[in-house]
Amino acid sequence: MGFDFKKDPFDNFLELYKLAQAKGVPDANAMALATVGKENQPSVRIVFYKGMMNGGFSFYTNYDGRKARDIEHNPKVSVNFFWPNLDQQIRIEGEAIKLNRKDSEKYFSTRSRLSQIGAWASQQSAELESLAVCEKKLEIIEQKYKSETVPCPPHWGGYAIKPSEIEFWFGKSGRLHERYIYRISQAGWDKSLRWP
């Protein structure tokens, strides 16, 4: 595989991520995000990595939804990229920090119009009476912005996950996997291996 443990972990991540894209990994930017809410109940879901921002791994969401409420309560999160056809995982632990409004608006402007309308219409994670109610709300928002650019909602935006630990996992035969660990410290990144 040729993993270079001397490199900065962000450089290693970007190199492996580009390779996963080049090899045609479906949704290579999909990452499982785990949060913990007020009841100390873990919750995990897939979100999409949208690039390095402010020294962290960015994603975007509705700030009124469950994941954002969890992050408000406890900003410590974990994400995992899993590329099974390459037998690779990248696991990241860290803290989710809100991106500034300008960065959120900039990314929002690149989304498809339907996704923009959906960001206004959705009361993410709230109970939905029926699909018809959702469709009606979409129609109302579509009419409202019929001849206009859809602005970024105030309740929508991004986070950057600033890592405290990054693990690069490479599957090997006999389950003798290679695990390369980077942990942040005062001096930079401490490096170690972990047993399979």
| Residue (of 119, 80, 72, 99) closest to 160 by Cα position | 99
Name the phi and psi angles at 2, rounded to 5: 80, 30
pTM across the whole model: 0.92
Rg (CA), the chain: 19
What's the burial of 40, exposed, middle or buried (CB within 10 Å: 0-12/13-18/19+)? exposed
Would you please indicate which residues are annotated as catalytic (active-site) residues? Answer: 175
Could you read off the pLDDT tens digit of each residue along the chain, which spans 196 residues? 568 999 999 999 999 999 999 999 999 999 999 999 999 999 999 999 999 999 999 999 999 999 999 999 999 999 999 999 999 999 999 999 999 999 999 999 999 999 999 999 988 888 899 999 999 999 999 999 998 999 999 999 999 999 999 999 999 999 999 999 999 999 999 999 999 9
Q: Where are the alpha helices (DSSP H) in the chain?
A: 9-22, 66-73, 101-108, 113-121, 131-144
